[in-house]
Structure 1
Amino acid sequence: MPKLIISGRGGCGKSTLVTLMAQRIEEQGKKVLVVDSDESNLGLGAMLGIEPGEKTLMDYLGGRPAVMDKLMAVIREGGDEKAELFPENSFLEDLPSDFVRWNGNKGFMQIGKIEHSHEGCACPMGAVTRDFLNQLNVNGEEWVLVDTEAGVEHFGRGIVEGADSVIMVVDPSNDAVLLSEKTAELTGEAGKSFGVVLNKVDHETKIILEDVLKKKNIPIQGFIPYSKTMARENLNGNMLDIKMVEGGIDEILNRVESHYQNK
């Protein structure tokens, strides 16, 4: 099954979608790995109900200095930051427990976090994410969901090249609509499939967004209605549950799965 990039503007609900999709995939008896590639997101583990591993993937690879040394060595040789940071042809069952934590068939890992002032940019984490996704193989009943940072920088860093599809979360805002056009363009340049999921919508905003996006030829994969219960539980740092929303997730998964199988 696919490796999915979950994209969108800040606060649109990327982590919420990832959490709900992961829960449903696990309930279907399939294996799912959630990859936190956002260097500033601290709450995804709580939403999933899984404590982060002892190390991030960056830590496991020796930390920022070791990763930067490898990247600079490649650049000095005339490369483009495509250093081989992770073992080739890795499978989910091969991933060390140092940086991956499993709860049943649902796994969680973090690429890396900004830990100190003046530490530097997140570029090395982007390189690590790109190499990890390129080297990771998934079997027929396995999914990988990548929660990204806000915006489109992951496209500039080439992270999308190791994925199969991009799903953008669109909340009821003009910024999200405008960003969906740019994200669709960048996804097309990368040769990947694209679709959006409407989030935090009521009946009225759902109709408005559907009309606007269809006029822009933006494919809609499904929607998640606004849930006061989910907002409250997230505010309190509690695990989210698919029962907090009415429908939507099955439709999204079915469309993604159908598209992937028909490639």
Structure 2
Amino acid sequence: MPKVLISGRGGCGKSTIVSLLARKLKNNGNRILVVDCDESNFGLNKILGIEKPKKTLMNNLGGKLAVRDKLLEIVQKDENHLNIFDVMSLDDLSNDYVTWDDNLGFLEIGKIEHSMEGCACPMGALSRDFLNHLTINENEWILVDTEAGIEHFGRGVLEGADFIIAIVDPSEDAILLANKAYKLSFENNKNFGVILNKIDDNLEEILKSKLDSNIAILGIINYSSDIAMLNLQGNSVESVSIGVLDDIITCIN
């Protein structure tokens, strides 16, 4: 089963679609871990409908300074990347930094907690190392919610992923990002596709015409005022049913 990295511009619907896919996969009898790699997003657990873990993964390892010190050691030794974890499975993950709702798990890599604390590079390095060492079995999925833009490509977070999805909403910026993400994924021999989100009949063909012709469109999700209201109220989307999700899952798997 795949590790799937979800990317896109801010506000395109990454967290919502991660949550919809996670709930659908769970209902289909799979075991899923949602990994929150966005250091600036604080509400994914609410959309997902699950409690926050006791700690972020970074805080469980001693905090940002501890991980930063590890990175400095790597630079001094002229090594390529962080190597904190051993090979591990979902069963090896501690309840200190993962919460579970039956077969749905949730983990946060790390968050910006204080002003002037510095860049988010330690979170990116930790995400990369964690995903590279996490193994999954039959009927297990990893869904990775990333920060806005493509910085996670530069940080190498995609290295441990099997499939990259870009969420494209009706904006020129989303199209430009998706086309760039496709090229970066191709460079790394990663499977890639897009989900068109918040779409109506007038927009679908325009978006398709602007995307690179080699990009696979995995599915189309129409704009939903019900989902918008759930997000505004800080409620979970677990009750939402969208038929195209099964087709998207089939394309990825």
Q: Same fold (TM over 0.5)?
A: yes
3-state DSSP of counterpart to 2:4: strand
1:197 counterpart residue number: 195
Kindly indicate whether residue 22 of structure 2 is the aligned counterpart of residue 25 of structure 1: no
Query: Partner letter of residue 133 of structure 1?
Result: L
| Superposed CA offset, 1:69-122 (max 9, x none) | 111111101113x12122x22000110000000001111010000000000100
What value does the CA root-mean-square deviation take over the aligned residues?
Answer: 1.1
Tell me what 2:57 maps to. 57
Q: Residue 137 of structure 1: SS of its match in structure 2?
A: coil
List structure 1 segments (4+ residues) > 3 angstroms apart after TM superposition: none
Q: Which amino acid aligns with 2:94?
A: P
Instruction: Say which is worse superposed, 216-225 or 193-202, in terms of deviation.
Output: 216-225
CA deviation vs aligned residue, 1:115-159 (integer Å, no higher than 9, x gap) = 000001000000000000000000011000000000000011000
Provide, for residues 2-50 of structure 1, a one-character-per-residue CA deviation record: whole Å limited to 9, x for no partner: 0010000010000011000000000011100000000000110000111
Match of 2:84 in 1: 85
Residue 100 of structure 1: which of 98, 101, 105 is its match? 98
Partners of 1:53 and 1:47 lie apart in 2 by 15
Q: Does residue 251 of the first structure (1) align with residue 247 of the second (2)? A: yes
Q: Counterparts of 1:15 and 1:168 in 2: how far apart (Å)?
A: 12
Residue 49 of structure 2 contacts residue 238 of structure 2 at CA under 8 Å; is this kept in 1?
no
The offset of 1:64, in angstroms, is 1.0
Q: Which aligned pairs between 1:228-247 and structure 2 lie closer than 5 A?
A: 228-241=225-238, 243=240, 246-247=242-243
Matched, 1:134 2:132: yes
Output one character per residue of 1:178-233: Cα deviation in whole Å (capped at 9) or x when no partner: 111110011111110100000010122123222332x6322101111110011001
Paired with 1:157 and 1:124, the residues of 2 have a C-alpha distance of: 10
Question: Aligned equivalents of 1:27 and 1:168: distance in 2?
Answer: 24
Please tell me the residue identity of whatever aligns with 1:177: I
In the other structure, the counterpart of 1:114 is 112
C-alpha separation in 2, matches of 1:246 and 1:69? 45
| Aligned equivalents of 1:190, 1:122: Cα separation in 2 | 23
Partner in structure 1 of residue 75 of structure 2: 75
Q: 2:160 aligns with which of 135, 159, 162?
A: 162
% identical equivalent positions: 53
Larger mean Cα displacement after TM superposition, 227-236 or 172-181 = 172-181
Q: 1-side partners of 2:70 and 2:176: how far apart? A: 37
- Counterpart of 2:194 in 1: which secondary structure? strand
Q: Which amino acid aligns with 2:5?
A: I
Q: Is the 8 A contact 1:200 1:226 kept in 2?
A: yes
